[in-house]
Amino acid sequence: MTDVVVFHHALGLTDGVRAFARTLEDAGHTVHLPDLYDGRVFESLDEGVEFGAGTLGMEEIVARGRAAAADLPTEVAYVGFSLGVVPAQQLAQTRDGAVAAVLAHSCLPPDAFADAWPGGVPVQIHGMDADPYFAGEGDIDAARALVASTEDAELFVYPGDGHLFTDPSAPDHDPAAAKLFTERVLALLDRAGGAPGGADLAADPVP
């Protein structure tokens, strides 16, 4: 199956992120779950962003992500949730051997860390159509640009305004959307790991 590194969102390494990692493990994947916050978990997104992007700073977040991946196998899939998209996307674009990437709740432009998205690395981007961060701050435009710039990229847009809708421990959790998200991620990881007969889950139309 697939080695997967999962980078948590701005609230920290929550019970919901841990539960997602267990779901991947139950499906046969090997999951690496670095804690970029050294054990700190926040209840408020504003507090988490202030700590992650402010106190630590995004350069430090990226550096911690690189350090977490330093001893991993070469062939790895990267999953990032919100703030965790930054190290996930950076590694997928710059560390040799990426087999897939999942960018949830956020997306940077395709040239954020390299001239273009690397060929042969399938990527999924997931977000809600009325999320004030994903839809309102340019991430969905970056996602569309990424999809347009590479052959194996999918943008999945879900109805709703929740930001961390994938996390059952977050206040804006959406169970139905989270279930579909997980199914789509598992299908991608199965394909990346060479599992036969992966589900054909077409992307939602992009508004």
pLDDT in tens, 82-123: 999 999 999 999 999 999 999 999 999 999 999 999 999 999
Give the range among 23-27, 183-187, 201-205 with minimum mean pLDDT: 201-205
Looking at the predicted structure, is the pLDDT value of residue 202 above 60? no
pLDDT of amino acid 171: 93
Contact call for residues 35 and 8 (beta carbons, < 8 A): yes
pLDDT of amino acid 175: 97
Angle between helices 15-26 and 175-192 (to 10 degrees): 40
Give the range among 38-42, 103-107, 160-164, 193-197 with minimum mean pLDDT: 193-197
pLDDT of amino acid 1: 83
Looking at the predicted structure, is the pLDDT value of residue 201 above 80? no
Q: What is the CATH number of domain 3-192?
A: 3.40.50.1820
Percent of the chain residues past pLDDT 90, beyond the cut: 90
pLDDT of amino acid 92: 97
- Residue 15 structure tokens: 């019970």
Q: What angle do CA 125, 68, 30 make, to 5 degrees?
A: 65
In sequence order, the 6+-apart residues with CB closer than 8 A to the CB of 100 are 2, 77, 78, 121, 122, 123, 124, 188, 189, 191, 192
pLDDT of amino acid 206: 35
Q: Give bridge partners of residue 124 from the DSSP assignment.
A: 102, 154
Q: What is the mean pLDDT of the chain?
A: 92
pLDDT tens for 137-174 read 999 999 999 999 998 999 999 999 999 999 999 999 99
The burial of 202, by beta-carbon neighbours within 10 Å (0-12 exposed, 13-18 middle, 19 or more buried), is given as exposed
Q: In which band, very low, low, confident or very high, does the pLDDT at 194 lie, cut at 50, 70 and 90?
A: low
pLDDT of amino acid 119: 92
